Amino acid sequence: MRCILAAKMKAFFEVLEQFYKKVLLGATLENESQEYIFYLNPAVLAQDCSTAASPECSNRRGVQGRHQPPSTTLGTISVVSVCLKRHSPTCSAREIMLLQLTVIKVMITRILSVETDFHAKEKYRDIITILLKSSDIDSTLTCMFQNSDKLLCHMAAKCLALLLYFQMREEIALSNSWIAFCQTNLSEYPENEKAVYCLWTLTFIIKEIFKDTCSQKTEILKQFLTLFDTAFEVFYNSLFSQHFESCQDTSKIINSLICSLELLELLIASRVHLKLHFTCQRILFLKPSCVLGVITWPVQAFVKRRFIIFIKKCLLWKVGEDLCRGSDPALMPPDQHLGVDMLALADAVLQAVDLGLLRTLSVHGKPPFFGGDEVQPAHEHVPGPDHVILRAASLLIIKSLEIKFQNCASANEMKVGLQNFMAELLTFLKPHLQPSLQPHNACEWISRVFIEQDDDMVEAARASLGIYLTLIRERDFLLMTNGTVSRCQFLTCIMALLAVAAFRLECKAAESLTQEKEMCNHHTHEYGYNPHCVFLFLLKNIGFDASVLLDFLISSETCFLEYFVKYLKLLQKDWTDFFTICKYFDVTKSKDNINVCACSPSLVQDTSSNQTELRPSAALGNHRNAHASGSWVSDASSKPLNQLVMPKETPATLLADSPSPPRASQSLVDYDSSDDSEVEGTDRCSANSKQVSLHQEAVKKFQDTVGTSGDEKEVSLEPQSRPLVPKQSNILFSVDWDTVPNNVSEVGLSSKTLKCFEELQSAVYRLQKKNLFPYNPTALLKLLKRIGAIYNESMNAL
């Protein structure tokens, strides 16, 4: 009897294997569709192979014997005369069932593929449709979830997901029994431990929806999520409300956490790229403390790592970017809830940090590798912190602060919040950074923490710059509206400059502005967000190599273009501060042989003392009264960089030095055209050639303080059939190196920076001339030209 059964199984396997080879090649099947059903239904083996599935499922298989093969079936389907030689003389039920699932999977994949021959595709579609109608295959596959064989469970879940997606795509009604199975198990968690099987299936289905190229996938997902929206919300609340310490079998909870996290990421990604707004897609933002709480649980480090990286992706709005490379979220309808949701998540992160979130993170221990955390005996383990955790935690805080400040009405609240949270972050980072950060200027932290991850480093620099711009904008607004003078009245007086009252107001405002600038400057260095220091450290990391900046500008993996444009606009107005910092770095390096931003002596003396206060000779219209270059070294004092005093300027000088009045805010670049670099808000997504800003709808645009001064052709960077190349003399700058002094304190960091800009500008221009640059960089080149003009003028003033 056993020999007969083995012979039957072998013959069955051989036929199925030939069937698989044909489907794998996409060949057209010659036989009637009904003849193939017997070999594809896993329930056929249940009678003879009871070990293939859980015993409790046996009573659910009402299809046994329903499809027996015709007498000619084995002969009709081509079976090679010489069977494939196998190591085992018999084929187990497990092997047959795995092959059955594989054939079903490949067949549906062929149906969904545009490369499959039309006649073959129609035949496959007919076979799968008959299989769904004539057997209870979804129940059979659901029973396999409980099998102890993990590979069989995985294949069953994947196969069921494809079958369900096929039904939705072909507008075939889903099985009521399977819908009830998922809704019940999700709603009854944790009493019902089968919820994890439902998570597997839901995850596989959404992945298939993402992979498909059909135009109806948004409608398909909408139909699918409608069935499970409420059940998933109940499951979410139950899962994250558990007390991990009191659980006996923590492995099951961890398994549920990882599965739910993967599904949650897909749900949020579908919100980003398919623009649906179900509760299950917003649940993280509606109840963010639930997910953040897992980081404080006494779970393994890899679980905390997965969760903190997931939250970082959500704050950066980069969830699902690997799944949706070809989609264009900017063309989708606006997400009306995005601004509120991002603010809720940022608030929750900051609240968790305030309650001690950073102190619960495990930074030391075995570093995780691709193949595990065990190091071979022959290889020495180098101890050190987990830099992935350091980067993720840093971005969580800096990005949350940026989002929070864009929705914060009080300048004082922003200032206090920034100091508290940045102090907490720097305290967390300093023990893990060797050598330690300088005590009086912590701006190096971004370059040190993110040196191995370019995209995160640029994101952190951009968020830091956004915080700085928000603070100075609020500071200047408060100064302009001080007392009884309204902003409109003040601007009228500034523009007129005719009345004595206006002049007095200007002087008073300028004096207050100078004092406030000094205090703000102090804080930017102390708490590590001075934009000039951050940018100089970035340049130092890449060795002032213009080719690296060019790679960043072209790359689709960083948001460097948006960051760089905003920084250049700031640099035009803040050249004095930039030059002061460069001078300081040059002096400390020449005196103490310290690298960039080694913060020992200061360039300034206390103004209350008898010694001279040093001022930079770099501001436009304010250089000719500067002292000789030799005094930079001789008058250097011991004050730290965060106590640098910026030169006082009269309102007339400020007006004279300011660029042309702002034009209406308009896009500089757009990454299929290049990204909207003017946007400041929660839409800090990766700007690249395939991805534009992902959440422009939910954020406020601020009026650009520096106009792009050109016609629309110069700022519109739509793809062009031919290059838009202006005359070289009108767009490129050249540093007048003959006017640069030979003194090392004068030819230092600022000269290196401008040399790098000049090389970058030439490279961009050459690529543009050959129509090889991915967008029209005319406006970017003009910004670089302006910086070059400011530098040349400042050098001439020396």
Of residues 619, 599, 620, 617, the one with CA closest to residue 743: 617
Q: Quote the CA–CA distance of 81 and 776 in Å, as a whole number.
A: 65
Beta bridge partners of 670: 674
Q: How confident is the model at residue 679 (pLDDT cuts 50, 70, 90)?
A: very low
Q: How many helices (H) and strands (E) does the chain have?
A: 31, 0
User: Could you tell me how far CA 359 lies from the centroid of its own chain?
Assistant: 24
Q: How many CB atoms lie within 10 A of CB 337?
A: 17
CB 284 within 8 A of CB 300: no
Tokens of 567: 């920084």
Q: How confident is the model at residue 513 (pLDDT cuts 50, 70, 90)?
A: low
Compare 376 and 265 and report the one with higher pLDDT. 265
Q: How confident is the model at residue 650 (pLDDT cuts 50, 70, 90)?
A: very low
pLDDT at 251: 85
Question: Region 181-192: what's the mean pLDDT?
Answer: 90
Tokens of 50: 């009871």
Q: What is the pLDDT of residues 103-151, one digit of tens each?
A: 999 999 999 888 899 999 999 999 999 999 887 888 888 888 877 888 9
Q: Quote the CA–CA distance of 329 and 536 in Å, as a whole number.
A: 33
Question: Region 205-210: what's the mean pLDDT?
Answer: 90
Cis-peptide into 190, omega within 30 deg = yes
Q: What is the pLDDT of residues 148-175, one digit of tens each?
A: 888 988 899 999 999 999 999 998 888 8
CB 690 within 8 A of CB 680: no
Q: How many CB atoms lie within 10 A of CB 23?
A: 24
Instruction: State the burial class of residue 91 (Cβ atoms within 10 Å of its Cβ: 0-12, 13-18, 19+).
Output: buried
Distances (CA, A) of 183 to 164, 199, 690: 15, 11, 38
pTM for the full model? Answer: 0.76
How many Å from the N-terminal Cα to the C-terminal Cα in the chain? 103
Q: What is the pLDDT of residues 606-629, one digit of tens each?
A: 333 333 333 333 332 333 333 333
Compare 564 and 248 and report the one with higher pLDDT. 564
Query: Given a cut of 80, is residue 537 above it in pLDDT?
Result: yes
Cis-peptide into 435, omega within 30 deg = yes
Q: What is the pLDDT of residues 682-727, one digit of tens each?
A: 333 333 333 334 333 333 332 333 333 343 334 334 444 444 555 5
Out of 4-18, 483-497, 633-647, which region has the weakest mean confidence (pLDDT)?
633-647
Query: Given a cut of 50, is residue 597 above it in pLDDT?
Result: no
Q: Quote the CA–CA distance of 641 and 522 in Å, as a whole number.
A: 8
| Greatest Cα-to-Cα distance within the chain, rounded to the nearest angstrom | 114
pLDDT at 249: 78
Size (the chain), residues: 798
Crossing angle of helices 195-211 and 217-240, in 10° steps, is: 150
Share of the chain above pLDDT 70, in %: 64
Q: How confident is the model at residue 366 (pLDDT cuts 50, 70, 90)?
A: low
User: Could you tell me how far CA 789 lies from the centroid of its own chain?
Assistant: 36
Q: How many CB atoms lie within 10 A of CB 232?
A: 28
Beta bridge partners of 637: 602
Q: Quote the CA–CA distance of 165 and 161 in Å, as a whole number.
A: 6
Q: Which of 3-12, 156-165, 670-679 has the highest mean pLDDT?
A: 156-165
CB 289 within 8 A of CB 307: no
Q: Quote the CA–CA distance of 389 and 304 in Å, as a whole number.
A: 9
Tokens of 496: 């007129």
Q: What is the pLDDT of residues 33-45, one digit of tens each?
A: 888 888 888 875 5
Tokens of 732: 């490129």
